[in-house]
């Protein structure tokens, strides 16, 4: 079973058709989940896109985690959402409790502890390594990831510069898995790309 969450970036796909084709390929590869993270969209535009993405994910038995728009989740009957911590903090407890899977983005140990206290079932922690998405900002590193994992009891997914070459180090810090975006959106073969995250770690464990 995969421990990789895939995060979308529709601009890398060229157009809507290309994006949905990529989403279907990701869903068919059965990652741990797909986070529909399209922050520049209005709520109405996001909802229209979410309808199509949810259908594709359900067809392949892959969990689709909506992002930011809590009302869209309610309208579409989606029980899985990922929120920025400020949005999560403003959400009443009764609304938080309706979600089966509730995640938040955390950038410090304190934020991770706060997210768990607010009822998160998992968090993302980053960015761990230097990445083009955060040009000029050094990664917080494996030491940071290790501290976060030690302070919370919910699954932690590392984000930022994660590759098949460093996923083993991420797992050894206690992380439940990792998030990938640019790699899974840009690669030629999604399944082969995701499979490498498992194979590489197995090879390292065997000393190969």
**Residues tagged active-site:** 127
Q: How many CB atoms lie within 10 A of CB 170?
A: 28
Q: Which of 85, 89, 88, 59 is nearest to 73 (CA)?
A: 88
Task: Identify each DSSP E strand in the chain by its residue range.
Answer: 4-7, 33-36, 64-67, 80-84, 101-106, 122-126, 156-159, 177-180
CA torsion, points 49, 70, 84, 114, in degrees to nearest 10?
A: -150
Total Cβ atoms within 10 A of residue 29: 21
Q: Do 123 and 102 contact (CB within 8 A), yes or no?
A: no
Cα gap 4→180, rounded to integer Å: 7
């Amino acid at each position: 079973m995969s421990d990789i969450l895939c995060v979308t970036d529709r601009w890398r796909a060229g157009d809507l058709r290309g994006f949905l084709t990529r989403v279907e390929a990701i869903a068919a590869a059965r990652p741990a989940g797909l986070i529909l993270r399209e922050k520049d969209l209005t709520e109405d535009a996001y909802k229209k896109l979410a309808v199509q993405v949810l259908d594709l994910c359900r067809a392949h038995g892959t969990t689709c985690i909506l992002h930011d728009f809590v009302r869209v989740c309610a309208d579409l009957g989606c029980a899985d959402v990922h929120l920025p911590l400020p949005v999560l903090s403003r959400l009443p407890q009764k609304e938080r409790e309706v979600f089966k899977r509730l995640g938040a983005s955390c950038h410090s140990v304190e934020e991770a502890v706060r997210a768990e206290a607010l009822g998160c079932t998992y968090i993302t922690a980053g960015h761990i390594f230097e990445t083009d998405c955060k040009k000029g900002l050094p990664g917080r590193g494996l030491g940071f990831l290790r501290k976060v994992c030690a302070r919370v009891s919910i699954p932690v997914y590392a984000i930022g510069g994660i590759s098949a070459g460093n996923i083993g180090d991420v797992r050894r810090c206690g992380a439940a898995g990792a998030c990938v975006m640019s790699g899974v959106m840009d690669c030629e073969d999604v399944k082969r790309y995701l499979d490498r995250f498992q194979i590489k770690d197995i090879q390292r464990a065997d000393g190969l």
